[in-house]
Amino acid sequence: MILSNNTGKTFIPPRYRSLFWVLLLFLLINLLTRIGLILFEGDTQNLSFQILPKILFSGFIYDLSVGTYVLIPFVLLALICGNGAKRRWLFAVLSTALLAVAVFSFLFTALAEGTFWNEFSSRFNFIAVDYLIYTREVLGNIWQSYPVTWLLLGLAGIALGLLWLVRKPFWNAALADAGNLPKRLVVTLLFLSLPVASFFLVNDHLRDGFTRPAERELASNGYYEFMRAFRSNDLDYFKFYKTLPTEQANQALQQAFKQGQAELKFIPSSMPTAHAIQPSLAPLQKNVVLISIESLGADFVESLGGKAGLTPNLDRFAKQGMIFTQLYATGLRTVRGLEALTLSIPPTPGHAVPARQHNTGLQSLGGVLKQNGYTPFYIYGGYSYFDNMENFFTGNGYQVVDRTDVAAADIHHETIWGIADEDILHHAIGVISQQAAKGNKVFAHIMTTSNHRPFTYPEGRIDIPSGSGREGAVKYTDWALGNFMQEASQQPWFKDTLFVFVADHTSHGRGRTDLPPENYRIPMIIYAPDFIQPQSIDALASQIDVAPTILGLLNIPYVSEFYGQDIRLAAAQNPRAFMSNYLTVGYLKNNKVIELMPKQTTKVVDAQTGAELPADPVATDEAIAYYQTAAARLNALQATP
């Protein structure tokens, strides 16, 4: 950092040595954060001699590149404060105060990275960017989930300790000679050129050199990943992902459909999926109650081989109804689940459809049912502005009911995410009963919220104390569902209602590959004692297949633009599933996951082991066809005035 001229004097004035201590503290805190995440991850592979040095070296480069940005306010302050005795003292005081704020911010970010990693097994990504919009919910969730006051006091104590360690060399450097204004201007330009250089020189190549997702995340830097996600939160599929000629993509898509139902007849349309559904039987006049359950992975459901004793009610419904044992969610967030269940569309990269600006005009489950005489509702225990739900559902023909419609006297418990599941489910019975009394057929899509951190719920409902963890929240939600069904069974509309229980996503993000299938497996149970015979459907299926399956059970005729298929009729012949994180989208078929990634790259991995397999051109083209045509449909929607 210190350059010399021919006389041996340093070109950079001694004042700027104070920047070294700023950078050192930043690098130290980020190094300790990385080590902490490695230890928390608990994977011995990350500690191996072959991997650990690479992670630490890559991490150092990312930390150093971000550090050049951290220095900017100190550099500008050094420029503004002159070289007189009073101005040197002023710089020392102001830079010390700025350093105190900076160190506390570094530590706070490290803590935030730890909590984010615990939830998503990732550095900051597009979810963190999205959460900036919903600061009320996010900050409220943090406040309810963690001892925030004590954590902040702890961070303040650590910050003071670090400042105490560097107080003498930092203060002495801050009081040192600052150089004249021309020299300070040149030095300022030199330092400001560093972040510019890092922007162009430091990119994804270092992190992309790691094969395992955890290694990539550990080798990166939260600040870098946040800005990366901010810049690429909306991804143009046709710019970043591998494509096929349009006609070839359409043909590959239709051939994939015909694998499930060879007799399928496509009709001329701008949508290559368009085909007529003409059941041989008359439509059934039944209400539909679809309950999407927050964060319920198959690993918590005993009927699916999960933990015993947490879901006795769902297990009972499974024995008495139709259970789908190999159903996979399309993503790891509620908004992805809502997209799949409502629109029956693959999870295109970037934002899910509900969170996009242009999110109406697509065929939806509620829309098809509305055309067939139903009154569709979306009933949500939280505030429906979250994740743009209100705009999405009202724009697609639903009536939205949320916590603002529930009287305070009817709320037993609430968190920042929503009222207790028992309360929104009880309110839903009132909504359905009111419509049924008018002779209306009802479609009610109900979204629960209790199985979400801070995992609190009314006391006395189950044998696990409120706030003790996810297992308690799962068991409480199951209790609330059992209570709901008991109450519903007393209603005159119960015997004429199809109940569908399905999760929006699982609670797991951590895995051995970008898209580990076990992190996407969810329960689905269809229950109607006088209509559905007990049975288990074990064929591989996707969350986007739920809407066509419900409509198929009701014998409803319609022209389908959906990407899903009726599981009962097609999944045995065409077993496949779709899954995504925000950058990688995948296609699970024949025990392989076809991964489509930015930079037009594709990869085939073994669904069981995660090992990379030889290329599979046929399956890859099939995967591209699904995602490319879906992306084209959404682009057309965006172009519509």
The predicted structure's pLDDT at residue 134: 52
pLDDT value at 132 more than 70: no
Q: Where are the beta strands (DSSP E) in 196-330?
A: 275-277, 287-293, 322-328
Specify the pLDDT at position 4. 43
Confidence of residue 135 (pLDDT cuts 50, 70, 90): low
> Which amino acid, one-letter code, is at 367?
G
The answer to whether the CB of 38 falls within 8 A of the CB of 55 is yes
At residue 205, the pLDDT reads 79
Give the per-residue pLDDT at 222: 82
108 dihedral zone (left: phi>0; alpha: psi -120 to 50; beta): alpha
CA-nearest of 221, 104, 200, 118 to 160 is: 104
Q: Facing residues of 399 across strands?
A: 377
What confidence tens digit (pLDDT) does each residue in 187-235 have? 999 999 999 998 888 887 787 778 777 788 888 888 887 777 666 556 6
Please report, as a single letter, which amino acid is at residue 182: P
With beta carbons less than 8 A apart as the criterion, state whether 346 and 329 touch. Answer: no
Residue range(s) in the chain whose domain bears CATH number 3.40.720.10: 258-440+452-506+527-532+541-574
Rounded Cα–Cα distance for residues 582 and 124 (Å): 12
Other CB atoms within a 10 A radius of the CB of residue 620 amount to: 21
Instruction: Write down the pLDDT at residue 9.
Output: 55
Asked whether the predicted pLDDT for residue 281 surpasses 90, the reply is yes
Mean pLDDT calculated for residue range 84-108: 92
Query: CA 288 → CA 424, 446, 494, 495, distances in Å?
Result: 17, 11, 10, 11
Residue 128 pLDDT class (50, 70, 90 cuts) = low
Mean pLDDT of 147-169: 90
| Cα 518 from chain centre | 16
pLDDT of residue 445: 98
pTM of the predicted model as reported, rounded to 2 decimal places: 0.81
Residue 163 has pLDDT above 50, yes or no: yes
340-358 pLDDT per residue, tens: 999 999 999 888 899 888 8
**Average pLDDT of every residue of the chain:** 90
HSE-CB for 636 with a 13 A CA cutoff:
10
Question: According to the model, what pLDDT value does residue 2 have?
Answer: 43
Q: What is the distance between the alpha carbons of residues 169 and 331, in angstroms, rounded to a whole number? A: 50
CATH class of the 258-440+452-506+527-532+541-574 domain in this structure: alpha beta
The whole-number pLDDT of residue 10 equals 63
8-22, 187-201, 526-540, range with the lowest pLDDT:
8-22
Q: pLDDT tens-digit profile of 370-414? A: 999 999 999 999 888 877 899 999 999 899 999 999 999 999 999
